[in-house]
Amino acid sequence: MPNQQIYWLCQIGGWFLYWMLLTFVNTLRFGEGGEESNIAELWREQAQLTIIVILGFTITHIYKVYVKRNMWVLLPVSKLIARLLVSVLVLTLMVLIPFLFIINVANLANMEDLSNSGIVLGAFFSVALIISLWVAIYFSVQYFKNYRKSQVARLKQDALLKEATLNKLRSQLNPHFIFNSLNSIRALVTVEPEKARDSITALSNIFRKSLQLDTCLRVAFDEEMQIVKDYLQLEKIRFEERLNVDYDIEDEVYSAKVPPLMLQTLVENGIKHGISNLPKGGVLKLRAKAYEKSYHFEIVNSGRLIENNGRKGYGLKNTKERLELMYEGKASINIENRGTENVLTTLIIPKETAND
Q: Give tens-digit pLDDT for 132-178.
A: 999 999 888 888 887 777 777 777 777 777 667 656 654 554 555 56
Counting residues of the chain whose pLDDT is more than 90, the rounded percentage is: 37
Model confidence at 323, pLDDT cuts 50, 70, 90, reads confident
Hey, how many other C-beta atoms are within 10 angstroms of the C-beta on 158? 14
- Residues 97 and 104: their CA atoms lie apart, in Å, by 11
Name the H helices within the chain.
3-30, 36-69, 77-105, 111-114, 117-172, 175-189, 193-212, 221-239, 262-273, 314-327
Q: Please tell me the number of Cα atoms within 13 Å of 132 on its side-chain side.
A: 10
| 355, pLDDT greater than 80 | no
Cα distances (angstroms) measured from residue 215 to each of 147, 197, 205, 218, 260: 21, 29, 17, 9, 10
Quote the distance between the C-alpha of residue 114 and its chain's center.
50
Mean pLDDT, residues 184-195: 80
How far, CA to CA in Å, does 262 sit from each of 6, 100, 188?
39, 63, 30
User: What pLDDT digit, counting tens, does each position of 194-230 carry?
Assistant: 888 888 888 887 777 777 765 677 889 998 998 899 8
Per-chain mean pLDDT for the chain: 84
Q: Which residue has the higher pLDDT, 211 or 100?
A: 100
Residue bearing the bigger pLDDT, 352 or 67: 67
Percent share of the chain, pLDDT over 70 = 87
Alpha-carbon span 189 to 183, nearest angstrom = 10
Pick the CATH number of 173-350 from 3.30.565.10, 3.40.50.620, 1.10.1740.10, 3.30.450.30: 3.30.565.10
What pLDDT, on a 0 to 100 scale, did the predictor assign at position 256?
Answer: 92
* Model pLDDT, residue 310: 43
At residue 111, does pLDDT exceed 90?
Answer: no
pLDDT at site 95? 93
Q: Residue 5: pLDDT band by 50, 70, 90 thresholds?
A: confident
Average pLDDT over residues 277-290: 94
Backbone angles phi, psi at 270, to 5 degrees: -65, -35
* Residues of each domain in the chain carrying CATH 3.30.565.10: 173-350
| pLDDT above 70 for 34 | no
Residues 6+ positions from 271 with CB-CB distance below 8 Å: 235, 243, 284, 301
Q: What is the pLDDT of residues 242-257, one digit of tens each?
A: 999 999 999 999 989 9
289 pLDDT band, cuts 50/70/90, is very high
How far is the C-alpha of 177 from the C-alpha of 46, rounded, in Å?
81
pTM of the model: 0.54
- pLDDT tens sequence across 260-271: 888 988 998 898
